[in-house]
Amino acid sequence: MNANISSRINLMRIVLISGIVFVHVPYDPATSPYAGIYGGFDWLRVFLGDSLFRVGVPCLSAISGYLLFRKGLDGFDYRKTLATKARTVLLPFLCWNVTFLAVVFIAQSKGVGTGYLPDVVHADARQWLSLAFALEGMPINLPLYFLRDLLLCIVLSPVLGWLIKRYPMQTLGVLMAYAVLPFPTWIFLKKSILFGFGAGIYLSLHRIDIRRMDRFAWQISAVFLIAAVLLSLLLYPFGPNFPVWLDMLRNLIALSGIVGSWAISALLVKTQAGMFLGRGSGLSFWIFCTHFPLLVLLWMIWNRMGFGYYPAFYSTAPFFTIAVLALSYALARAWFPGVTGFLTGSRTGLDRDLGARAGAVRSAPSLKQRT
């Protein structure tokens, strides 16, 4: 673990989470990208939402698995890990999700926002528990299912670590089959999270040099992007109900994004924008937890205003959301640092240290040769 890897991990987080914002841009059946109303623009939406940025979930889970076992299996303290992740993952999940659930209940009880989100007012106790804690289905703040499944991976981490240490290829093969083939999800909401987490554990426990393929970064990035384009060309005429073979192919390309995204980070980290974005993880977590409620609010306002040209909404809402959340994070961090640290799982404290380490990356001679 060095300054370059730290910067690239944080760079990947902000880029992938910004991409996830595009995945969650709302639409209704009439404006579905598979309705084909807007031609090439709809294909672009399929490319971004159902192909390219679907890599975000397995990549982010791979980062989590890699960081969790960076001290090796012998240095892994399960009890301490559970206590730490309760603060950095569980509490933020509960705060953001339960708060949004309360806001939705108040809004729907006043007749605002009905039809945009699950009916909270008339939900029974079992539905409330699921919406609040994602026990049986998606949480009310939809993207937070990732944190829920990540917590499951952390609970299973000693077993996964032991298996991957002793039977790496067999274990990863089983996890890949579970993620790609049409098996039921069982206790997970998104199967690719488990494989990504396991892949990260493998890289960490077996001390794989994750910069080994950086000299092929251009080639790997090109192959991955071409695969994403070809996948979108297949998805567009078949969607939204994909045949089994195509859904399996989509899952497989999403998993390959772990390698593709890491190669792209080797190229981006050399740029000024990449260096800037690699300075901390608080902003990316803030955007991840807050973008869905803001997107839903913008969608409600858009429909209320009566504009009918959906491409205008899709072209502006994600960028507006990211800009507003970046500003709100900066203000919250300046005015309420303690609360902001709590809501981001104590991630704001990393920004200064990682910023200094990212500065060291810029002056490291080896980077000019490797990245």
Q: Which residues contact 223 (CB under 8 A, 6 or more apart)?
A: 260
pLDDT > 70 in the chain, percent = 93
Residue entry with tokens 């007749």? 111
Position 198 pLDDT exceeds 90:
yes
User: What confidence score (pLDDT) does residue 321 get?
Assistant: 97
* Residue-wise pLDDT tens digits, 286-299: 999 999 999 999 99
The count of residues in the chain is 371
Q: Is the confidence at residue 361, as pLDDT, over 80?
A: no
Q: Domain residues for 51?
A: 3-370
Tens-place pLDDT, residues 308-347: 899 999 999 999 999 999 999 999 999 999 999 999 988 7
Can you tell me whether residue 22 is helix, strand or coil? helix
pLDDT digits (tens, 9 = 90+) for 265-284: 999 998 888 888 877 668 99
DSSP 117: B
Single-letter code of the amino acid located at 276: F
Q: Where are the alpha helices (DSSP H) in 187-309?
A: 191-205, 217-238, 244-268, 272-277, 282-305
Chain-centroid distance of CA 244 in Å reads 24
pLDDT recorded at residue 281:
67
Q: What is the pLDDT of residue 116?
A: 93
Q: How confident is the model over 58-89, as pLDDT tens digits?
A: 999 999 999 999 988 988 999 999 999 999 99
- Please tell me the predicted confidence (pLDDT) of residue 54: 94
Convert the pLDDT of each residue in 231-242 to its tens digit. Answer: 999 999 998 889
pLDDT of 101 above 80:
yes
Q: Do 239 and 33 contact (CB within 8 A), yes or no?
A: yes
Q: How confident is the model at residue 114 (pLDDT cuts 50, 70, 90)?
A: confident
Query: Exposed, middle or buried, 94 (CB in 10 Å: 0-12/13-18/19+)?
Result: middle
Give residue 274's pLDDT: 82
Confidence (pLDDT) at 276: 82
Supply the pTM of this predicted model: 0.90
**Which is more confidently placed, 360 or 10?**
10
Nearest 5 degrees, angle CA 23-CA 201-CA 278?
55
Query: Per-residue pLDDT averaged across 99-112, rounded?
Result: 95
The CA distance from 123 to 133, in Å, is 14
Lowest average pLDDT, out of 209-213, 217-221, 251-255, goes to: 209-213
What gap in Å lies between CA 169 and CA 191, rounded to an integer?
18
203 has a pLDDT exceeding 90: yes
Structure confidence at residue 358 (pLDDT): 38
Instruction: Give 167-186 pLDDT, tens digit per residue.
Output: 999 999 999 999 999 999 88
Higher pLDDT: 367 or 288? It is: 288
Task: Report the domain count for the chain.
Answer: 1
Q: What is the mean pLDDT of residues 90-100?
A: 96
The pLDDT value recorded for residue 357 is 40
